[in-house]
Structure 1
Amino acid sequence: MSEDLTWDAPEGSWASSAARRRNMQAIRSRDTKPEKLIRQLVHAQGLRYRVAARPLPDLRRTADMVFRPAKVAVFIDGCYWHGCPEHYVPPRTNPRYWSEKVLRNVQRDRDTDQHLEQAGWLVLRFWEHEPPEVCATQIADTVTARRSGARRT
């Protein structure tokens, strides 16, 4: 009995082959190495947070770390997917599609920032290439300051 092992991309699909599709499915949207390291460092400083949570229930977007009482949302952005000015390199394969995809991601990031800020949240964004210790310190200092400021009012 012989099985047909070929894969036909659905019409309009960007996945041009089964190998490309497997590769794209393997890309993590959460729990990346930079995220895990920063979370570990922040946790070691005694702070607790929600992981991959929606800061605003009506906004269908999640932050990498959410500190609800302090209203701080943290995003650790990948250099490729979020268009890092230092490290983004336009793709050679299907450049129009991927460049437009990254541009939409950047626009969605700005829209998310705006929605959160209008709701009284502070948004912290870091690139995946930034030193985790520096990111964790800035997160801890910011959350601690917002918490103590909230207690005084």
Structure 2
Amino acid sequence: MEPAPVDLARAPAASSAAVRDRFRRQGRRDTAPELALRRRLHARGVRFRVDVRPGRGTRARGDLVWKGRRLVVFVDGCFWHGCPTCGHLPKQNAGWRVLRFWEHQDPDEVADAVCRALGRGLVTRGDQAIP
């Protein structure tokens, strides 16, 4: 299934050449909040796939994906995704649990939530064990 084409005629025009250039340079992956979460999960021994489509029938690429567990995590920028009420949620996710986090959230708390979703009951932060 091919992704639906983007209708550029309906997209709003950039307010200036500088804005257009900034949007074009904006990275899709490896953002600071995403890297912070990945470092914390990796330090806890959690392994994951990065920037992967969870299934063939979806255009979305998860920031972190566990295909065997059918879990996908998106770390969204507050500006780009309209935190907290304007974000786009999929209409159909074919049985996938979707965790969505915002860049302003504490990476340790996000890592705790991901570990809980993966069924890891005991989470460690430094020397301290947290149930």
TM-score of the pair, normalised by structure 2: 0.74
Structure 1 stretches lacking a partner, 5+ long: 1-10, 87-102, 146-153
Pair 115,29 (structure 1): closer, same or farther in 2 beyond 3 Å: same
The structure that is strand-richer by fraction is 2
Question: Structure 2 CA distance, aligned partners of 1:68 and 1:44?
Answer: 20
Question: How far off is 1:22 after superposition?
Answer: 1.8
For residue 140 of structure 1, report the CA deviation from its aligned partner: 1.5
1:121 aligns with 2:96: yes
Structure (1 or 2) with the greater helix fraction? 1
Identity of aligned residues (%): 41
CA distance in 1, matches of 2:82, 2:106: 18
| Rg comparison, structure with higher value | 1
Residue among 96, 100, 106 paired with 1:131: 106
Hey, what does 1:38 align to over in structure 2?
37
The amino acid of 2:112's aligned partner reads T
Report the count of equivalent residues: 111
**Residue aligned with 1:29, SS:** coil
Aligned counterpart, 1:81 = 80
Counterpart in the other structure of 1:110: 89
Q: Where does structure 2 lack aligned partners over 5 or more consecutive residues?
A: 1-8, 121-131
TM-score by length of 1: 0.64
Structure 2 residue aligned with 1:56: 55
Question: 1-side partners of 2:69 and 2:36: how far apart?
Answer: 22
User: Could you say what the CA RMSD is over the residues aligned between the two structures, in angstroms?
Assistant: 2.1
User: The residue matched to 1:124 in structure 2 has which SS?
Assistant: strand
Corresponding letter in the other structure for 2:101: F
- 4+ residue runs of structure 1 moved beyond 4 angstroms? none
